[in-house]
């Protein structure tokens, strides 16, 4: 009996020691800290690794690990850190490939972000509203960066500027021209970052404009004396066709406008559905937001038309391009045509000096002529202006 009592006491002693050791060893990892903080991540698995979808807890310093549960962290998901105003410093993992839409938006105290080689994509408004992020260095691995990714006007440091603003080899044959913004640009447009070319010109446009249903929609509707053909993404025969995880009707503005341009300049058998399929196949679809800007010069090259890319927001420049018979593709900002962003074609001027447009969301707006100054006032300054010709 005495031996049994001793054995039980010995086991209790061992158990007490083990518990004490475990508690001591775990204490440093759980103790809150005002700088390092105690944060945890919500995540989902995606192709090739982990996508962080949310962060719990608060910290001034965020150091995102390369691995979670033994798998590489490859993506910061949409709005994952949005509105975390306490964050001052972010170190992104070397395994990271993509920073999602509004991933760090409105982190108003954010001052420093460390980007590592391997990052290829920075989605729209990823760091929008980060007013204290005054300087950052992008690695040469970045291929796609939205013009609205850093939309409060930060200065950008680059080890080599050509790694950030460039026309890659596969686009050079198309004479893609990047013009620096003129002095006449507004302060708002000067504040927006812009890049060009297939590897760096990709700003996403949120295509949330409401379809105009005030008149019947006909396939390949023809109008004006030139029989210009407009195909509408809101047409029932196109609207419900899948475009990635969305539809042509809701997010296919980019492919739809390019199909109209190519159809009229070449006569090719294209429409919003075939162009959306091509865009998705070539990876110009941007999940949740629409299409990468790189779609425009790539589609032009594929169908054999000339494209030029400008960032020159000057009324006389735009007027000269249209009066020379070229088509111009623009991005409209919030206002008459959209709640967020919308691609639209400028065709030229009528005999009364009114602007003729092609809006693939609206037969009504397309059939109207517009005051040039009004359209100019609603352009999304800082986004590219594409000019197309045969």
User: What's 97's domain CATH number?
Assistant: 3.80.10.10
Under 8 Å between Cβ of 348 and 356: yes
Are residues 235 and 155 located together in one domain of the fold?
A: no
Classify residue 70: in a domain, yes or no. Answer: yes
Under 8 Å between Cβ of 300 and 341: no
Are residues 238 and 382 located together in one domain of the fold?
A: yes
pLDDT in tens, 230-278: 999 989 999 999 998 889 998 999 999 999 999 999 999 999 999 999 9
What sign does the dihedral 34-30-52-136 (CA atoms) show? positive
Pick the more confident residue, 151 or 97.
97
Q: What is the pLDDT of residue 1?
A: 56
Tokens describing residue 258: 């390019």
Are residues 266 and 361 located together in one domain of the fold?
A: yes
d(CA 146, CA 340): 14
Q: Is the pTM of this model over 0.85?
A: no
Classify residue 26: in a domain, yes or no. Answer: no
d(CA 194, CA 200): 9
Are residues 159 and 231 located together in one domain of the fold?
A: no
CATH of the domain at 272: 3.90.70.10
pLDDT at 327 over 50: yes
Are residues 237 and 385 located together in one domain of the fold?
A: yes
Are residues 226 and 106 located together in one domain of the fold?
A: no
Are residues 351 and 250 located together in one domain of the fold?
A: yes
Domain boundary among 164, 196, 211: 164
d(CA 5, CA 2): 5
Are residues 230 and 365 located together in one domain of the fold?
A: yes
Q: Which of 267, 380, 282 is nearest to 329 (CA)?
A: 380
Q: What is the pLDDT of residue 169?
A: 29
Classify residue 12: in a domain, yes or no. Answer: no
- Number of domains composing the chain: 2
Task: For 166-211, give the DSSP string.
Answer: ---HHHHTTT----PPPTTS-HHHHTS----STTTB-------PPP
pLDDT in tens, 174-229: 222 222 233 333 333 333 333 222 223 333 444 433 444 333 333 333 333 458 99
Classify residue 210: in a domain, yes or no. Answer: no
Under 8 Å between Cβ of 384 and 310: yes
Q: Which residue has the tokens 């950030």?
A: 164
Classify residue 170: in a domain, yes or no. Answer: no
Q: Which residue has the tokens 């390092």?
A: 36
Q: pLDDT band at residue 87, thresholds of 50, 70 and 90?
A: very high
Q: What is the pLDDT of residue 354?
A: 96
Structural domain span for residue 128 = 40-164
Q: How far is CA 78 from CA 105, 123, 128, in A?
A: 10, 9, 12
pLDDT in tens, 120-175: 889 888 998 898 987 788 888 888 787 778 876 433 433 332 222 222 223 322 22
């Amino acid at each position: 009996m005495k031996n049994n009592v001793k054995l039980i006491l010995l086991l209790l002693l061992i158990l007490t020691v083990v518990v004490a050791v475990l508690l001591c060893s775990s204490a440093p990892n759980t103790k809150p800290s005002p700088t390092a903080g105690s944060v945890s991540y919500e995540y989902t698995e995606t192709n090739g690794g982990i996508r962080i979808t949310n962060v719990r807890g608060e910290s001034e310093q965020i150091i995102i690990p390369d691995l979670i549960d033994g798998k590489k962290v490859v993506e910061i998901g949409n709005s994952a850190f949005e509105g975390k105003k306490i964050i001052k410093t972010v170190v992104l993992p070397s395994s990271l490939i993509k920073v999602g839409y509004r991933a760090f938006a409105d982190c108003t105290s954010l001052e420093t972000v460390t980007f590592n080689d391997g990052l290829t994509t920075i989605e729209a408004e990823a760091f929008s509203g980060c007013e204290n992020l005054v300087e950052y260095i992008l690695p040469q691995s970045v291929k796609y960066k939205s013009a609205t990714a850093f939309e409060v006007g930060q200065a950008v440091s680059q080890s080599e500027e050509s790694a950030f603003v460039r026309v890659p080899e596969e686009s050079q044959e198309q004479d893609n021209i990047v013009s620096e913004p003129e002095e006449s640009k507004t302060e708002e447009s000067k504040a927006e970052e812009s890049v060009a070319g297939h590897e760096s010109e990709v700003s996403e446009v949120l295509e949330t404009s409401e379809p105009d249903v005030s008149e019947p929609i006909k396939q390949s509707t023809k109008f004006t004396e030139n029989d210009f053909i407009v195909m509408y993404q809101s047409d029932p025969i196109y609207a419900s066709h899948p475009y990635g995880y969305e539809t042509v009707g809701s997010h296919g503005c980019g492919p739809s406008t390019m199909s109209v341009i190519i159809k009229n300049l070449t006569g090719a058998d294209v429409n919003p559905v075939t162009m959306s399929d091509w865009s998705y196949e070539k990876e110009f679809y941007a999940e949740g937001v629409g299409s990468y800007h790189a779609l425009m010069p790539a589609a032009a090259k594929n169908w054999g038309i000339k494209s030029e890319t400008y960032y020159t927001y000057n009324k006389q420049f735009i007027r000269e391009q249209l009066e020379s018979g070229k088509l111009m593709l623009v991005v409209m900002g919030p206002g008459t045509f959209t709640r967020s962003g919308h691609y639209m074609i400028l065709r030229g001027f009528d005999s009364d000096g009114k602007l003729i447009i092609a809006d693939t969301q609206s037969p009504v707006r397309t059939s109207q002529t517009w005051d040039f100054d009004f359209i100019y006032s609603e352009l999304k300054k800082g986004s590219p202006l594409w000019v197309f010709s045969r």
